Copies of this chain bind each other. A is one copy, B any other.
């Protein structure tokens, strides 16, 4: 079921936008806010090889006139299907607690590969899980806080605020999708 690493899905999503080479992908990770992923060749080239072995991408070497040879990757239909399945799979509390990065990566490509309806579905589910989890953390802090050192309490407070911020963001993003849908319908 867990067919690819997070890096693998990031690569799949990026070549979904347009065919890219390993070097293109490295540059994206090196020079954009997607830089949470490693731009090291030892991570990216093997990851692309795995994607190809699994039939999620194909590659072809382009060496057009005076340019350096570049191996361009593009997703197969099977790759597109696997990506969409990963992206639209249901969200549970474990995802929120242990895999927040993965959730945001899933959402980042949502428009291009799954559409606005899936995006709102995703945001609603995320907001629901966050609304359930935040009070649990708040209660823990209240009950256990007395016996915790100040820095420990503050670290937990920081984590909670992060989740609260994410919840606010999800709600405002939902509003944006709702308005853009209405505007689209009015046309």
Residues of A in contact with B (beta carbons under 8 Å apart): 32-33, 35-36, 97-98, 104-105, 107-112, 116, 119, 137, 140, 144, 149-152, 154-159, 161-162, 164-166, 168-169, 173, 176-177, 180
Contacts and interface: CB of A to CB of B under 8 A. Distances in A.
Contacts of A108: 151-152, 155-156
A158 B166 contact: yes
A112 B148 CA distance: 10
A107 B33 contact: no
B152 A111 contact: yes
A151 B111 contact: yes
Nearest to A119: B151
Contacts of A162: 162, 165-166
Given A111-B152, A157-B169, A165-B165, 20 more contacts: A33-B159, A35-B97, A35-B98, A36-B98, A105-B155, A107-B154, A107-B155, A108-B151, A108-B155, A109-B152, A110-B151, A111-B150, A112-B149, A150-B176, A150-B177, A154-B169, A158-B166, A158-B169, A161-B168, A162-B166
A103 to B, nearest CB: 10
Nearest to A35: B97
Instruction: Label chain A's interface by main secondary structure.
Output: helix
Contact of A159 (B104, B164, B176): B104
A151 B33 CA distance: 14
Contacts of A154: 107, 169, 173, 176
B98 A137 contact: no
Contacts of A116: 150
The residue in A112, A151, A158, A166 that gathers the most chain B C-beta atoms within 10 A of its C-beta is A151
A140 B33 contact: yes
